[in-house]
Amino acid sequence: MIDRHRLRAWLLCMVVCGGLAVDHGLAEDQDHQPDRPIFLETFAGGADRWEPTDPAAWTLSRDGDRAVWGLNRRKSDYQPAVRSPHNIALVKDLELTDTVISFEVRSTRDTGNHRDCCVFFNYRDPEHFYYVHLGARPDPNSGQIMIVDGAPRRPLTQNTRRVPWDDGWHHVKLERDTASGRIAVYFDDMAQPLMEATDRRFTAGRIGIGSFDDMNDFTNVKVYGKRVGAD
């Protein structure tokens, strides 16, 4: 099980110190140490390590001196079999049990109450996974921790807190502890979760970023956790 206190301290150190030096925009730690990232991505070397549901919907660009990878359209050619997000980009060849995902995100179009980004975890297949919908105004379909379990997505939370989107960059972190079932997501405030839930249906799978049907830029993705099959 992940030591959340150690991971929070490490993530805070990375934010304060400006991040880690990464060769070609990504790196992997083969030792799976719980306080070291096993995957890093700055997109400086492209997005070849990612598998998007609709590759044409994603574009590499720059924001000042850093690379970003973002959605260039709201409507995707990918149409899921059950009601769930349309724009999903999963990390290739990485399946985790316990998981921490940290990244920077910028919403690039104001679409109102459901302006969002999503983070995916314990993704087993297109009809079985969890995701967090960071929608601006919460309702049963927005601003909740969601599950897709062979049926249209449904919320695991009853969140009432708004997500304060604007046109700037924001820091998102997801924590998943499979032993306890805990899921927690943070938005800018890394000391206090925006939402929390408990569910144990899926305990392993892929991880990713994206949106239900909105537009965002992403960078500085850091993944911590335990690979499937690791002791």
Of 86, 131, 117, 99, nearest in space to 188 by CA: 117
- How confident is the prediction for the chain on average, in pLDDT? 88
In the chain, % of residues over pLDDT 90:
78
Cα-flanking dihedrals φ and ψ of residue 104, to 5°? -105, 140
Domains with residue ranges and CATH for the chain: 4-227 (2.60.120.560)
- pTM here is 0.85
Report whether pLDDT(23) > 70: no
State residue 143's pLDDT score.
Answer: 96
Are the beta carbons of 86 and 80 closer than 8 angstroms? yes
Confidence of residue 151 (pLDDT cuts 50, 70, 90): very high
Q: What is the pLDDT of residues 88-128, one digit of tens each?
A: 999 999 999 999 999 999 999 888 777 899 999 999 999 99
State residue 4's pLDDT score.
Answer: 52
What one-character DSSP code corresponds to residue 188?
S
Q: How many CB atoms lie within 10 A of CB 69?
A: 23
